[in-house]
Structure 1
Amino acid sequence: MSKQVQVHGALFLVAVIYGSNYSIAKEVMPAYVGPYGLIVIRVVSAAIFFGIFSRLVIREKIVGWADNLRSVLCGFTGIAINQLCFFGGLNLTSPINAALLMVIVPIIVLIFSAILLRERVSLRKVSGIVLACAGAFLLIYSSRGESNSGNLWGDLLIVLNAASYGLYLVLVKPLMQKYNAFTIVSRIFAVGAVIVVPFGWQQVIAPTYSSFPTEIWWAIVFMVLAVTIVAYLFNTWALRYANPSLVGAYIYLQPLMAIFIAIGFGKDVFTLQKGIYALLIFTGVYLVSRTR
């Protein structure tokens, strides 16, 4: 199997996992575990797993002041801010709104790539940015109505999450070219765990876990193992062989999976209005991601 096929396979699996997460997470929070408590469970579990594996198997250290500082910034953007905003936003808004707004990640990647990596931005890409941002703005603006399944503040948190994740994809790329994927993921989860624990510790100790139904436990296991450990590892590994824009472009699949699963579980509805705004977003992201 060629490396290119492996990279696309890893990114596709990540998109499927993330697409499923929108509805599965809504089953758990806030009825059983608060959004920030769920983050602490996920991030601390992953930090322990990756920390032990990296120390016992990989035995590689990040060297140099610049690389260590960059890895800490990746922990801030890729774990702490990203997760706090995502679950805080998803707790307020609908699964479909959250998934559609996450599509703007490639736009964020392009903007930060232009600023930090000096990537050239063409007129076509500028047009794509304008279209995608217009679609995202209209989706957020329409969430002001009480009858809408979305939520204004929830949608804004999802956009902030997308911006943080897009910056993370750009920041982590140079590290992935120098170190093993486990080394990087271990460091960023360790940094993220230190930051998120104060936000969610009270929500971790509040629930009566013995009363949780079996399906809720399976949902938590899925979010820890698949969404946190497998998805982050595959995504970070793929960055070694793919540019940040390609990884960001795979965000296309998340809304499709999220829509099918949310409707299947009866957690959300896909309206014509959302479809029009989604078309604007998808068209804009296509213009940004298309290469000659």
Structure 2
Amino acid sequence: MGASSLESGSSRQAPLGAVYTALFVQVLINAGTYLAGKRAMEELPPLTVVLWRFLLSAAVFCLLLLFTPGPKLPPRSEWRRVLMLGLLAGPINQVLFFFGLSRSTASHAALLYALTPLGVYLLSLARGHERPSSRATLGILTALVGVVVLLLGRGLASASGSLLGDLLILAAVSAWVVYTTEGKPFAATHGPVRSTAWSMVTAALLLVPVMPFALDPARTFSVSRPALGSIVYLALLTSVVAYLIWYYALSKVPASRVAIFSNLQPAATALAAWLLLGESLHWALVLGGGLVIVGVRLTQGAPVGPVSPGASLDEEAPVAGRG
């Protein structure tokens, strides 16, 4: 635990600018996740994509744990929480997300995931992790309006996503909200590397029972290079780099401030489509993106702190002190 305390303690001294820069990188990675997921599922079933994603990412995290100073396994007192986080990250969040994405559209998925900050903020309030803030609420709602403007401008009204797919994605969003809220104190205690590694390896282990039925190596290795590249993208960038950044940020700032960055993903997706697919930029990107940025800035400047004096100092007090 000494190494763990050193890691989490040193993290509090890092400037918040570095945290927000890392979150912008995470936003860009996640914007590509929609494209990579859709591309991989053109040739493989959703469950096969999920299994390979977690199998590869778990192998990388095992190597990271091997070379990271400190405990390799979570303390016995944390096994229940690790199991819960792994269940939320893998079998619940990602399985529901990919099955939903295969039946809906990327636009619908982006809009539903834009509900994450609101869900995290409300859950944090309910659990006493943050105190009510009109500025934070205004920021979250402003960013959400920006997302709606952006997606409507890209043709959300005429999108043909099915109701079933949208409901599956909404369930995945709910799991991600709980994962983010519960993961914050865990990351603050054990550091982002171990927290992410333990939850992602647990997620892979929980998926082992279905691997004989859906892993399908022969079919997987016969797909095209773009499809294989998409799986590698999902495994290494989305599941390793983006998850590490997410836990890194959660170990330093309140969960609602981290979650608000998910509202930037639709704008980042639009920019990626412009750069990679040649789609034109339009007024909705400027207006919607501007509202999202304003919402993010409002939320980042909102006062935060635990409701009760007995709340964990590791969770909020260092951040509130930086104001």
Give the TM bin, normalised by the shorter chain. 0.7 to 0.9
Superposition pairs for residues 123-162 of structure 1, below 5 Å? 148-162=159-173
Partner of 2:35: 23
| Structure 1 Cα separation of the partners of residues 90 and 59 of structure 2 | 14
| Structure 2 Cα separation of the partners of residues 154 and 121 of structure 1 | 33
Deviation digits for residues 11-31 of structure 1 (CA, Å, limit 9, x no counterpart): 1111000011101211110x3
| Structure 2 Cα separation of the partners of residues 286 and 89 of structure 1 | 31
1:13 lines up with 2:9 in the alignment: no
| Structure 2 Cα separation of the partners of residues 93 and 258 of structure 1 | 16
| Structure 2 Cα separation of the partners of residues 241 and 128 of structure 1 | 20
- Unaligned residue ranges in structure 1 (runs of 5+): none
| Structure 1 Cα separation of the partners of residues 51 and 34 of structure 2 | 17
Superposition pairs for residues 60-79 of structure 1, below 5 Å? 60=71, 61-65=73-77, 67-79=78-90
| Structure 2 Cα separation of the partners of residues 211 and 148 of structure 1 | 32
Contact preservation (8 Å) 1:104, 1:281:
no
* SS in structure 2 at match of 1:208: helix
Partner of 1:204: 215
Query: How many residues in Structure 1 have an aligned counterpart in Structure 2?
Result: 287
* SS in structure 1 at match of 2:83: helix
| Structure 1 Cα separation of the partners of residues 189 and 176 of structure 2 | 21
| Structure 1 Cα separation of the partners of residues 82 and 146 of structure 2 | 33
* Among 226, 234, 241, the residue aligned to 2:245: 234
1:106 lines up with 2:117 in the alignment: yes
Return closer, same or farther for 1:236/1:129 CA change in 2, 3 Å cut-off.
closer
Partner of 2:199: 188
Deviation digits for residues 216-271 of structure 1 (CA, Å, limit 9, x no counterpart): 22222211111111111121112111211111011122111223334666699999
1:54 lines up with 2:47 in the alignment: no
* SS in structure 2 at match of 1:212: coil
What's the offset of the Cα at 1:99?
1.2
Partner of 2:131: 120
| Structure 2 Cα separation of the partners of residues 15 and 261 of structure 1 | 11
What's the offset of the Cα at 1:272?
10
| Structure 1 Cα separation of the partners of residues 62 and 124 of structure 2 | 30
What's the offset of the Cα at 1:170?
1.2
| Structure 2 Cα separation of the partners of residues 270 and 157 of structure 1 | 30
What letter matches 1:40 in structure 2? Answer: L
Q: Which has the higher contact order (CA 8 A, sep 6+)?
A: 1
What letter matches 1:20 in structure 2? Answer: G
* Among 208, 215, 224, the residue aligned to 1:213: 224
CA root-mean-square deviation:
3.7
Superposition pairs for residues 28-39 of structure 1, below 5 Å? 28-29=40-41, 31-39=42-50
* SS in structure 2 at match of 1:121: coil
Partner of 1:97: 108
User: What's the TM-score once normalised by structure 2's chain length?
Assistant: 0.73
What's the offset of the Cα at 1:46?
1.4
* SS in structure 2 at match of 1:178: helix
Deviation digits for residues 30-75 of structure 1 (CA, Å, limit 9, x no counterpart): x32211111111112111221232134333143252x322222111
| Structure 2 Cα separation of the partners of residues 244 and 224 of structure 1 | 24
| Structure 2 Cα separation of the partners of residues 62 and 289 of structure 1 | 32
| Structure 1 Cα separation of the partners of residues 280 and 97 of structure 2 | 20
Contact preservation (8 Å) 1:47, 1:186:
yes
Return closer, same or farther for 1:258/1:208 CA change in 2, 3 Å cut-off.
same
| Structure 2 Cα separation of the partners of residues 291 and 207 of structure 1 | 52
What letter matches 1:177 in structure 2? Answer: A
* SS in structure 2 at match of 1:291: coil
Contact preservation (8 Å) 2:147, 2:266:
no
Percent identity of equivalent pairs: 25
| Structure 1 Cα separation of the partners of residues 68 and 142 of structure 2 | 46
Partner of 2:185: 174
Deviation digits for residues 172-207 of structure 1 (CA, Å, limit 9, x no counterpart): 111212213222122111221122334465332175
Partner of 1:88: 99
Contact preservation (8 Å) 2:141, 2:295:
yes
